[in-house]
Amino acid sequence: VGPNGRISRIELLSFGEPPEYVPNERWYAQLVGKPLDDAFFLKKDIRNVTGATLTARATVEAARRVLAAHQVIEADRAAAEAERKRKEEEERERRENGGDPPKPEPQPKPEPQPTPAPQPSPEPQPGPKPEPTPQPKPEPTPAPRPDLPPAERDA
């Protein structure tokens, strides 16, 4: 990848298929100068290789990954460069304004104040003894009379 973010060259480092599937130099040359964009795909900006579709697809996908990684690295580098320039500008302004900015005056720290020891809690005193609540005596329920008809028993 060149400094302009485009492919500058393609090299085949390893190939695990029969040699007849290796694309020719003319096919690789169509990748040179391409940026990472929506057209950089097989069958769009890139012609396929007859009989070696997997090779062509793998090559284009690898080139797209390299371009994407380059964009991320370049963005990080650009951010670091911007931060460096910002710090240089701050330093230049500091020197132009007569050196270091005034240091803040230290503020006195409050002294700790002693607190009195807590008073002991008073001992509990016994109170009046509770009286038991009287229980009412249950009244016996009258037994039903078997000699009456049911309607009169319930009344």
Residue 5 in contact with residue 70, Cβ under 8 Å? yes
Domain spans of the chain, in order of start: 19-96
- What was the pLDDT predicted at 153? 62
Which helix (DSSP H) or strand (DSSP E) does residue 138 occupy?
none
Q: What residues contact residue 34 under an 8 Å CB cut-off, 6+ apart?
A: 6, 7, 40, 45, 46, 63
The CA-based angle 61-15-44, given to 5 degrees, is 30
| Helix, strand, coil share of the chain (percent; to 5) | 35, 5, 60
Tens-digit pLDDT profile for residues 101-119: 667 788 888 888 888 888 8
pLDDT of residue 37: 82
Residue 1 · residue 70 · CB < 8 Å? yes
Please, what sign has the CA dihedral across residues 62, 67, 68, 74?
positive
- pLDDT value for 154: 57
Q: Which residues of the chain fall short of a pLDDT of 50?
A: none
Whether the Cβ atoms of residue 28 and residue 60 lie closer than 8 Å to each other = no
Closest CA to 60 of 93, 100, 27: 27
| Gap between the Cα atoms of 75 and 89, Å rounded | 21
Q: Full-prediction pTM beyond 0.85?
A: no
At 151 the pLDDT is: 67
